[in-house]
Amino acid sequence: MKMQNLVQKIIDGNQLAGARLIRLLEEEDSAGIAMLKHLYPHTGQAFVIGVTGPPGSGKSTLVNCLIGEFRQRDMLVAVVAIDPSSPISGGALLGDRIRMRRHAKDDGVFIRSMATRGHLGGLSKTTRETVLVFDAMGYDVVIIETVGVGQDEVEIAQFAHTTAVVSLPGMGDDIQAMKAGLLEIGDLFIVNKADHPGADDVVEQLQAMLDLAKKSESDWRPPVIKTVAVNNGGIVELADTLWGHRRYLLDSGYFSEHNYKWEYHFFRQLVMEMVTDRIFDNAQVSPSFAKLLDDLKARKIDPISAAEKMLHTFLTQ
């Protein structure tokens, strides 16, 4: 398939074409990056929702319910599911992912699982690129789902218009501690499995924590919503609230501000990678670079001095 054809098919919403480009981007293929240029004018519309929370909180079931609800409202929905899986072989198949397949035959739904690979910053870059592809394909809603309790959530929050943090009744200290961190990235909080004992306690705790915290940039008070995802309880309210936050972002100008922030970040990251690649490519053929690496290996020079030397030697400006 020619590149121009692939671009057109993606704009037309062809899922095979989309999957193919995402694979190219995951492999950091330069043709993939070039295609993003052509897709860019068709992006900027999708509403990006991050869903995060600890393992076992029922995130995937919730996402599944949200897909159904948004489909009922006639929207096209895409999901990026980030697996806590292999740095090497990549991509364990979660049980939850299989459950999501009930939407597999619906053309209005596109689900993509991504492995969290070893490349630093790689996850966030590929996630951002994947969202751009979904956006260009015409998906109204893009949901990014992560399992994790650390760095990942922060990264999600950076690439979602709205971040929903899932918790559940009766978890221990770990969850309590986690909440302190997640409190600041949540635009709304979901207490799932709300039919279990202790649900109201969690709601109260969250409300109390939200009373103490204040989000510097906004006057949005994050709502706390109870759901019972296994029987679709609370999903209509959840979808309404998400949509309400989108409205708030659009009215306040934060929506396009978010988009610009991501684009600037992507731009800076590209500059960083391109210039570093170029410097190291140029250096590769130089005997003084080989000497520098030998010295580093023999511990005759420290990494900081080596970096300074590199800049001095290979960057004229």
Q: Which of residues 89-108 bind a copy of itself (CB under 8 A)?
A: 89, 92-96
Q: Helices then strands (H, E): number in the chain?
A: 13, 7
What is the C-alpha separation between 284 and 186, in angstroms, rounded?
45
Least distance from a copy of itself to the Cβ atom of residue 73, Å: 27
Least distance from a copy of itself to the Cβ atom of residue 156, Å: 11
Residue selected from 4, 274, 290, 291 as contacting a copy of itself according to rule CB under 8 A: 274
Residue selected from 148, 198, 233, 244 as contacting a copy of itself according to rule CB under 8 A: 148
Give the range of 15-23, 226-234, 238-246, 301-309 binding a copy of itself by CB under 8 A: 301-309
Residue selected from 268, 286, 288, 290 as contacting a copy of itself according to rule CB under 8 A: 268
Q: Which own/partner contact pairs does 5-10 have at CB distance under 8 Å and 24+ positions apart?
A: 6/35, 7/35, 7/38, 7/39, 10/35, 10/39, 10/133, 10/136, 10/137
Q: Which of residues 164-223 bind a copy of itself (CB under 8 A)?
A: 172-175, 177-178, 180-181, 183-185
Tokens representing residue 244 in the block: 């309400």
Give the range of 72-80, 160-168, 187-195, 264-272 binding a copy of itself by CB under 8 A: 264-272
Tokens representing residue 254 in the block: 């934060």
157 binds a copy of itself (CB under 8 A): yes
What is the C-alpha separation between 160 and 52, in angstroms, rounded?
11
5 burial type by CB count under 10 A (0-12 exposed, 13-18 middle, 19+ buried): exposed
299 binds a copy of itself (CB under 8 A): yes
* Closer of 73 and 101 to a copy of itself (Cβ): 101
What is the C-alpha separation between 12 and 18, in angstroms, rounded?
10
* Closer of 18 and 54 to a copy of itself (Cβ): 54
Q: Which of residues 103-132 bind a copy of itself (CB under 8 A)?
A: 115-118, 120-121, 123-124
Which stretches does DSSP call E strand in the chain? 47-53, 77-83, 109-115, 141-147, 162-167, 188-191, 224-226
Least distance from a copy of itself to the Cβ atom of residue 240, Å: 28
* Closer of 69 and 135 to a copy of itself (Cβ): 135
80 binds a copy of itself (CB under 8 A): no
What sign does the CA torsion over 61, 62, 65, 71 have? negative
8 Å CB contact between 206 and 180: no
Compute the half-sphere exposure of residue 113: CA atoms within 13 Å on the CB side of its CA: 19
Site mask for a copy of itself (CB under 8 A), range 20-39, x = bound: -------------xx-xx--
How many residues lie near a copy of itself (CB under 8 A)? 87
267 binds a copy of itself (CB under 8 A): yes
What is the C-alpha separation between 184 and 134, in angstroms, rounded?
27
